[in-house]
Amino acid sequence: MLRSLTIRDFVIVDRLELEFAAGFGVLTGETGAGKSILLDALGLVLGGRGEAGMVRSGRERADVAAEFDLPADGALAAWLAEQELPAEDGMVILRRTIDAGGRSRAWINGSTVTLAQLRSAGEWLADIHGQHAHHALLRADAQRALVDVQAGAVALAEEVAGLHREWQRLLRLQREAEADSAGSARERELLSWQLQELEALGFDPQAWQDLNAEHGRLAHAASLIEGADETLAALSEGDIAVCATLRHLDARIAALADFDPGLADVRELLGAAAIQADEAAYALRRYRDRLDLDPQRLTEVEQAIATVLDAARKYRVAPEALPELARQWRERLETLEATADPARLAAAAAAARQAFEAAAGRLSAARAPAARRLSAEITEAMQTLAMAGGRFEVALEGCEPAAVGLETVEFRVAANPGQPLRSLAKVASGGELSRIGLAIQVMASRDTAVPTLVFDEVDVGIGGRVAEIVGKLLARLGRDRQVLCVTHLPQVAACADWQWRIAKREQGGETVSEVTPLDPPARIEEVARMLGGVNITATTREHAAEMLGRR
């Protein structure tokens, strides 16, 4: 579960350090007080989208850190160990910063990580349902994904999509082979000849550099020999040799240093210069011994370089690009050879289709019971959400083989008794969609292993008795998970185990958000405010106390 959340310079939040409890908790307050900002901060540290506008005006960066209990199922612990991000003391610490330029950094357990790693860890720790999440349920892909999650078939669905892509790839190659077999044969012949030419060249990048260096030495051998001889004469072999002169001067200063220790530094420098001059002469002598005029070798090297340059000009690339060109040709030749036999490709495509259909069949078998279970559970929930007699169905309709499998997934609903089932996207009103969407989210969350569930104003569009039912539904969910909910409904707030009030205030000429944990008397006042607005009467307070007493 979420233990703490620290927020600095995020939107209108100056600095908040929040400690969370288990069970069902609600965040309440006036519209615009910043309730959803706290959840935005949590979403950011879980790997959500970040942008410069999240940084509080006039500040350099926004900083959010969250501390979670390590889930007991072990999956996250194993992933952290694999990523070399081990948790300590059973805690996972996530941190995210966004600077004023929009640049983001992320950490897990104190180690810098990528945003993808932060998002992966966050998926094990918390699940956030936004206030518009029910609108996503109108999309076919979202409906299919939800059913696959409920069926425990997400990995299988990805496998089916991959097998379908491979099958289609082989079919495409088969059609290309049948359509242009003669052209493919000509291209194979040309590529084969060109590859033989480059392979015979035996080009190697390091050998090419060595060859050019050798050419430079051979082409300038006379100048190198003349320069080496002249320098050697000056250093050690001439009448006035530098090495001998330095040694003499070193000895002279050494004798004088006996009278004046102030010459010690000079003596040390001269001694070092003499040693370095001797070493230079020795190294240059060895270099000169290896130098020789070799016109025949120079001709051989120039011919080798010319051969490489001719090949590079022929294929319009730099010499260094010849190996990459050969690699590309080799891959293309392998592809053409693979497509040279349409019959073999047809057999491979048939085998790929069989593999796809087998996996898709397993996916269909997994989806069917999940669809029936979800249909029954949502239909049952509708009866308590002011849609008595309504029905919900996850319809699986057979379709042509596709990346999604062998069937389409469609959510259908009949909001009132006697009405036919029709697509959720076509018949549900705004209020009905909110209630059905909330039921789906709660049911889906009930079966997930994520320990913290967050609902951001998902109760929009409901009220009265239905709101109380929703509150009790969330409270039941909070018995097994930590549930956080931003709400404007007193009926929902009254069902919570704990409650925070979010408010705005002026501080130093700026607007900041503050969070106040509410004790029982303060909860009565807050629920009364939610019930009665500006004018809170004794009757309103009594009603609020009664609602809280029914928890």
Q: Dump pLDDT digits (tens) for 317-367.
A: 888 888 888 888 888 777 776 666 677 788 889 999 999 999 999 999 999
* 125 and 206 both lie in a single domain: no
Give the total residue count for the chain. Answer: 551
Q: Residue 48 has what pLDDT? A: 87
Do residue 121 and residue 216 come from a single domain? Answer: no
316 and 209 inside one domain? yes
- 497: domain CATH number is 3.40.50.300
Query: Which of 315, 334, 353 is at the close of a domain?
Result: 334
Residue 298 to residue 8: CA distance in whole angstroms: 70
102 in the same domain as 222:
no
72 domain residue, yes or no = yes
Closest CA to 311 of 449, 195, 457: 195
Q: Which domain holds residue 112?
A: 2-131+431-518
CA 300 centroid distance within chain: 54
**Same domain, yes or no, for 237 and 315?**
yes
261: DSSP letter:
G
Choose among 515, 537, 519: nearest CA to 528. Answer: 537
Write down the pLDDT at residue 124: 87
How confident is the model over 513-523, as pLDDT tens digits?
888 999 999 99
228/305 same-domain check? yes
In a domain, 94, yes or no: yes
517 bridge partner residues: 500
Same domain, 216 and 124: no
What pLDDT, on the 0 to 100 scale, is given for residue 255?
80
Name which of 224, 202, 228, 204 is nearest 294 in CA terms. Answer: 224
- Report the C-alpha gap between 118 and 80 in whole angstroms: 11
Question: Does residue 126 share a domain with residue 203?
Answer: no
- CB–CB of 460/470 below 8 Å? no
Question: What pLDDT was estimated at residue 135?
Answer: 62
pLDDT for position 6: 94
**End-to-end Cα distance, the chain:** 22
Are 325 and 437 in the same domain? no
Weakly modelled stretches of the chain, pLDDT under 50: none
Residue 321 included in any domain: yes
Residue 418 falls within a domain, yes or no? no
Q: Looking at residue 356, what is its pLDDT? A: 96
Q: Is residue 322 part of a domain?
A: yes
| 113 part of a folded domain | yes
Number of Cβ atoms within 10 Å of the Cβ of 161: 17
Question: Distance between CA 420 and CA 186 in Å, rounded?
Answer: 62
Shared domain check, 328 and 204: yes
How many angstroms separate the CA atoms of 384 and 466, rounded?
7
Q: Is residue 64 part of a domain?
A: yes
Beta bridge partners of 278: none
Q: What is the pTM of this model?
A: 0.59
Number of domains in the chain: 2
124 and 204 belong to one structural domain: no
Q: pLDDT value at position 131? A: 57
Give domain status of residue 100, yes or no.
Answer: yes
Letter for the amino acid at 69? D
Specify the pLDDT at position 291: 62
